[in-house]
Amino acid sequence: MSALFRPMARPDLERLAPFDTELSDHDRPDALSVPWSRPAPEPTRSKRWSARWISVATIIVVLAAWALTAALGIVSPVFLPSPAAVAARFVSVTTEGFVDSTLLEHLGVSLARVFAALIASLIVGVPVGIAIGMSTVGRGIFDPLLEFLRPIPPLAYMPLIIIWFGIGEPSKVLVIAIAMLAPIALSAAAGVKGVNRERINAARSLGATRRQVLAHVVLPSALPSILTGLRIALGAGWTTLVAAELIAATQGLGFMIQSAAQFLVTDVVIMGIFVIAGVAFVLEFAIRRIEAVLVPWAGRD
């Protein structure tokens, strides 16, 4: 700085006063100021609440109808066990287990598979997405492959994976990872394509090399989009879990449900469905929290 700044021609205290505080009335974002300072419109409080109450009421009505149907014996418990029976199963599987493992063990194995698959698809999907977003060659190579892969249901490619990779743990993880790959790669590509051109120019005129632009501008710009892709991918992976655990599994939530179905232990099947739904809900919530911490600027500019 020494070379850049000569002493002020006229050091004038009044002129040098900071004006981030005193100018508050005119210098602060508000509804009338520049567009990027405007907060997104939120639904009114009353609307939000009424929707929430309708949801709660819906759940209560469905549960009541279920309990009533079971209590009146309209449907055999083999087809529809009562909510109480399902709750009791939840307790007994948690403490004593089902098909040789407790609920927590089944859950742990399933989560481990989904997260192993997530890491694998991130390692492959993010670079592929960046290649698609940044180069014509990358787009030419990977776009058709992803578009081919994306609509195929996991149950369709699973037999091929068993033929190629056997019935071990890698095959299960791979089935889930393939389901996650497209959302991650495509959202990374969208994030990279959406990078603000002026920010790249700004970095270049501040002396950043091309590699530094990639690391310090392109990647952070794409991060919100990549996290959105991760959230979608986790949903897709969790959806694929039951299919993956068709492959000679001995543990896991999907395996637990299928074993129970074979013995017509319907309360375990229903309990398993609730656990899978509950975990999906918790994961979704967790990633939204992570987004809020990691990319707090997303949607604000």
Partner 1 sequence: MPTLSLNQVTIRYDGEPRPTIGSTSLTIDTGDFVVLTGRSGCGKTSLLNVAAGFITPSSGTAGIDGRSITTPGADRAVVFQNDALFPWLSARDNVSFALRMRGMPKAERNRRADELLERVRLPKAGGKAVWELSGGMRQRVGLARALAADPDFLLMDEPLGALDALTRERMQTLLLDIWAGANVGVLMVTHGIEEALLLGTRGAVMAPDPGRIVRVIETGFGRRYVAGEPVRSIKADKDFIAGRAELADAIFDGEPA
Minimal distance, residue 201 CB to partner 1, in Å: 5
Q: Shortest approach of partner 1 to residue 191 CB, angstroms?
A: 12
> Measured from the CB atom, is 36 or 79 closer to partner 1?
36
Find the binding residues for partner 1 in span 30-59 (CB under 8 A): 33-34, 36-37
Q: Between residues 18 and 43, which has the closer beta carbon with respect to partner 1?
A: 18
Contacting partner 1 (CB under 8 A), which of 99, 116, 149, 208?
A: 208
User: 101 forms bridges with which residues in the sheet?
Assistant: 98
Largest CA distance in the chain: 93
Phi and psi at residue 41, to the nearest 5°: -65, 135
Residue from 164, 198, 262, 293 binding partner 1 (CB under 8 A): 198
CA pair distance 189, 228, nearest whole angstrom: 12
291 close to 106: Cβ distance less than 8 angstroms? no
Binding of residue 263 to partner 1 (CB under 8 A): no
Interface with partner 1 (CB under 8 A), residue from 111, 149, 190, 295: 295
Q: 225, 187 in Cβ contact below 8 A?
A: yes
Shortest distance, position 134 Cβ to partner 1, whole Å? 18
Amino acid identity of 36?
A: W
- Angle made by CA atoms 169, 101, 240, in degrees to the nearest 5: 45
206 binds partner 1 (CB under 8 A): yes
Per-residue x/- marks for partner 1, 152-191, CB under 8 A? ----------------------------------------
Is residue 228 within 8 A of residue 187, CB to CB? The reply is yes
Among 17, 72, 163, 293, binds partner 1 (CB under 8 A): 17
Altogether, the residues listed in the chain come to a count of: 301
Nearer to partner 1, 12 or 96 (CB): 12
Given a contact cutoff of 8 angstroms between Cβ atoms, the answer to whether 182 and 149 are in contact is yes
In the DSSP assignment, the letter for residue 168 is S
Spatial neighbors of 11 by CB under 8 A, at least 6 apart, are none
260, HSE (Cβ side, Cα atoms, 13 Å): 26
Task: Return the number of other C-beta atoms located less than 10 Å from residue 249's C-beta.
Answer: 21
Stretch that binds partner 1, among 16-24, 71-79, 146-154, 283-291 (CB under 8 A): 16-24
Residue selected from 13, 26, 136, 262 as contacting partner 1 according to rule CB under 8 A: 26
Q: Which of 99, 134, 149, 223 is close enough to bind partner 1 by CB under 8 A?
A: 223
Minimal distance, residue 3 CB to partner 1, in Å: 7
Burial class from Cβ neighbours inside 10 Å (0-12, 13-18, 19+) for residue 298 reads: middle
Residues found near partner 1 in the complex (CB under 8 A)? 1, 3-10, 12, 15-21, 23, 26-29, 33-34, 36-37, 196, 198-199, 201-209, 212, 216-217, 220-221, 223, 295-297, 300-301
